[in-house]
Amino acid sequence: MFSIRRAATKMGARPAKNSLQIIPSRNFAIHKLKGKLAEMIPVVQGRLNTLKKEHGDKVLETVKVNQVIGGMRGMTGLVYETSKLSATEGIRYRGHSLDEIMKMAPSFVEGGSPAPEGILWLLLSGEYPNKQELDDVVIDLKERSYIPEETIELIRSFPKNMHPMTQFSMGMLACQSMSTFAQHYRAGIAKNKYWEAMFDDCINVVAKSSKVAALVFNNIYHDGKHLPEFFDDKLDFGAKYAHMLGYDSEDMYELMRLYLVLHMDHEGGNVSAHANRLVGSALSDPYLSFSASLNGLAGPLHGLANQECLRWYLEILDKYGKHWNKDDIVEHVHHTFDSGRVVPGYGHAVLRKTDPRFTHQLEFGLTHFPTDNLIQLVNACYEVIPELLPKIKPSIANPYPNVDACSGALLMHFGLNQFDYYTVLFGVSRAFGVMSSLLWDRALGLPIERPGSVTVEGLLEKAKNLD
Ligand code: AMX
| 306 confidence band (pLDDT: 50, 70, 90) | confident
Task: Summarize pLDDT for 383-394 with one digit per residue, the tens.
Answer: 999 999 999 999
Q: Which amino acid is at 131?
A: K
Q: Which atom of ligand 1 is nearest to the CA of 348?
A: 34
**What pLDDT, in 10s, does the model give residues 156-207?**
999 999 999 999 999 999 999 999 999 999 999 999 999 999 999 999 999 9
Tell me the best of 396, 402, 422, 434 to mutate to test the pocket of ligand 1, counting ligand atoms within 8 Å of each CB and taking the most: 396
CA 299 to chain CA centroid, nearest Å: 14
Residue of the nearest CA to atom 42 in ligand 1? 344
Alpha helices by DSSP H, 164-285 = 164-174, 180-187, 194-221, 237-245, 250-262, 271-280
Query: Looking at ligand 1, which atom is closest to the CA of residue 402?
Result: 48
pLDDT, position 317: 97
Q: What is the pLDDT of residue 11?
A: 40
Minimum CA distance residue for ligand 1 atom 3: 342
pLDDT tens digits along 99-108: 999 999 999 9
* Residue ID of nearest Cα to ligand 1 atom 18: 395
- Pairing between β-strand 2-6 and β-strand 20-24 as defined by DSSP bridges: antiparallel
Query: Does 424 score more than 50 pLDDT?
Result: yes
pLDDT tens across 263-302, in order?
Answer: 999 999 999 999 999 999 999 999 999 999 999 999 988 8
Q: What residue segments make up the domains of the chain, in order of their start? A: 28-57+70-467
pLDDT for 4 beyond 50: no
pLDDT for position 227 = 64
Residue nearest to atom 17 of ligand 1 (CA): 395
Residue 397 has pLDDT above 90, yes or no: yes
The predicted model gives 124-152 an average pLDDT of: 93
Report the pocket of ligand 1 as residue ranges, CB < 6 Å.
301-303, 305, 342-349, 393, 395-398, 402-404
Query: Which of 229-233, 372-376, 463-467 has the largest mean confidence?
Result: 372-376
Tell me how far the alpha carbon of residue 55 is from its chain's centroid.
33
pLDDT category of residue 307 using cuts at 50, 70 and 90 = confident
Rounded CA-CA distance 444/167 in Å is 32
Determine the Cα–Cα distance for residues 382 and 378; give it in Å rounded to an integer.
6
3-class state of residue 6 by DSSP: strand
Q: What is the pLDDT of residues 5-45, one digit of tens each?
A: 333 334 444 444 433 443 445 567 788 899 999 999 999 99
Per-residue pLDDT of 41-97, as tens digits, reads: 999 999 999 999 999 999 999 999 999 999 999 999 999 999 999 999 999 999 999
pLDDT value for 27: 65
Provide the pLDDT for residue 230. 58
If one counts every other C-beta atom within 10 angstroms of the C-beta of residue 311, the result is 13
- CA-309 nearest atom, ligand 1: 44
- 432 pLDDT more than 70: yes
Q: Report, as an integer, the average pLDDT of 339-362.
A: 96
Q: Given this model, what pLDDT does residue 18 score?
A: 36
For domain 28-57+70-467, give the CATH number.
Answer: 1.10.580.10
Element containing residue 22 per DSSP (H, E)? strand 20-24
Measured in degrees and rounded to the nearest 5, phi and psi for residue 47 equal -65, -40
Plot region of 447 (φ>0 → left; ψ -120 to 50 → alpha; else → beta): beta
* Each residue's pLDDT tens digit, 313-329: 999 999 999 999 999 99
Please give the average per-residue pLDDT across 348-363, as a whole number. Answer: 96
pTM of the model: 0.92
362-385 mean pLDDT:
97
The residue whose C-alpha atom lies closest to atom 37 belonging to ligand 1 is: 347
Please report the pLDDT score of residue 361 as a whole number. 98
> Residue 342 C-alpha to ligand 1 middle, in angstroms?
7
Inter-residue contact 454 to 461 (CB < 8 Å): no
pLDDT (average), residues 255-270: 97
Ligand 1 centroid distance, CA of 348 (Å): 6
Mean pLDDT of the chain: 92
Query: pLDDT tens for residues 197-220?
Result: 999 999 999 999 999 999 999 999
Q: How far apart are CA 133 and CA 141, in angstroms?
A: 12
398 Cα: distance to centroid of ligand 1 (angstroms): 8
Q: Which residues are catalytic?
A: 302, 348, 404
Q: Is residue 316 within 8 Å of residue 377, measured between CB atoms?
A: yes
